[in-house]
Amino acid sequence: MIGATFRRVLPQLIILCVVLLLNFAVFPGFFHIEFQNGRLFGNLIDVLNRGAPVALLSIGMTLVIATKGIDLSVGAVMAIAGAVAASVVTGGGGWFTALIAALLAGLAAGLWNGVLVAFFRVQPIVATLVLMVAGRGVAQLITEGKIMTFLNEGLIHLGAGTILGIPTPIVIWLAMGTLVTLVVRRTALGMLIEAIGINETASRLAGINSRVLLVTVYLVSGFVAALAGVIVAADIKGADANNAGLWMELDAILAVVIGGNSLLGGRFSIVASLLGALIIQSVNSVILLSGMPPEFNLVIKALIIIVILVIQSPTVKHRLYLLRAKASSTVSDAPDVAPKAQLAKETRS
């Protein structure tokens, strides 16, 4: 299974390495990591740390997209969760209560989306658009339109603190990614989700409770969005309802797409989506470190993303496959070449 996963995510790994090397090219100190003030400190750590919100969102988004759905509301849910957490601690609650309240808010948002999609059969893009627009308003109502700042150390720790020297957001997204991957891959759950995405009617006729599963994937999406929202708020010690998670749903969808998952549903890989999130963050890092004027930011990002997507497109993939097939057939035409090379290597060593 590990081998299959590795082969599946190989393109993403290669792209990630290339983008990281691009970082190294613009800033030679990129791979330097040191232990400073009791925490790991370095650009590579920043990529893992700053990529946390999109990585978390991409976990839920992968499952939703695998069912042929989409969740546009995650950015707004982040804003709601941050606002809820901030209002709990400013109201005198503890950080744990705040976290639970924020996660419950995320689950409630997921339930809303899931019920609209699974029971009312509203198209996912429309169903989640409702919350995308209204959710930010809800968050603004909670914070009364201001940046609600807080000083609760426990809550701040979730965004700006460390666990064993590793920034907490990294630990959270790695743990969440591992947990969800294991749950969907060590059980039949992943396959059932894929079945819904490929043909919901057929999967229902085959005895899969598609409604419950659909609600579940939106619940997961709401849950991870809430986690991301708490991290983002904790990071700046304040809930910024206007800006928290703004347009982040698009980055999450992009991460899933860079991860090679089809927007038409079906087979999915969470690991690939997480790598996609890291690729996006590495691209952001290139832009920041290059020192180019900000007018170029979006152009550079667009160019890199286009190259990545074209490399992954079915046409290019097919060409590459044909090239590889041709190369291997040339090798098999001359079977005596390989042993000779092997021999040469052995004598040399």
Partner 1 sequence: MKLKTALLVSAVALTPLGAWAADKTVGFSQIGSESGWRAAETTVTKEQATERGINLKFADAQQKQENQIKALRGFIAQGVDAILLAPVVATGWDSVLEEAQDAEIPVILLDRKVDAPDDLYMTAVTSDTVYEGEVAGKWLVDTVAGKDCSVVELQGTTGSSPAIDRKAGFEKAIADASNIKIVRSQTGDFTRAQGKVVMESFLKAEGAENICALYAHNDDMAVGAIQAIKEAGAEPGKDILVVAIDAVPDMHLAIAKGEANATVELTPNMAGPAFDILDAFWADGTLPEKWVQTESKLFTAEDDNQAIYDMKKGLGY
**Interface with partner 1, residue 24, by CB under 8 A:** no
**Interface with partner 1, residue 297, by CB under 8 A:** yes
Nearest CB to partner 1, comparing residues 5 and 162: 162
The CB density around residue 233, as the number of other CB atoms within 10 Å, is 35
Residue selected from 2, 4, 295, 336 as contacting partner 1 according to rule CB under 8 A: 295
Within 75-134, which residues bind partner 1 (CB under 8 A)? none
Whole-angstrom CA distances from 322 to 216, 308, 330 are 40, 20, 12
Residue 225's Cα: distance from chain center in Å? 10
Residue selected from 288, 300, 305, 309 as contacting partner 1 according to rule CB under 8 A: 288
**Burial, 265: exposed, middle or buried (Cβ in 10 Å; 0-12, 13-18, 19+)?**
buried
What is the Cα–Cα distance from 246 to 237, expressed in whole angstroms?
A: 17
Which residues have C-beta within 8 Å of that of residue 178, sequence separation ≥ 6? none
Residue 167's Cα: distance from chain center in Å? 17
Within 49-68, which residues bind partner 1 (CB under 8 A)? 50
**Interface with partner 1, residue 29, by CB under 8 A:** yes
Confirm if 79 and 244 have CB atoms less than 8 A apart: yes
Stretch that binds partner 1, among 66-74, 168-176, 209-217, 234-242 (CB under 8 A): 234-242
**Interface with partner 1, residue 153, by CB under 8 A:** no
**Interface with partner 1, residue 158, by CB under 8 A:** no
**Interface with partner 1, residue 200, by CB under 8 A:** no
Q: For 198, phi and psi rounded to 5 degrees?
A: -75, -45
Contacts with partner 1, residue ranges (CB under 8 A): 27, 29, 36-37, 39, 41-43, 46, 50, 140, 144-147, 149, 160, 232, 235-238, 240, 242-244, 285, 288-289, 291, 293-295, 297
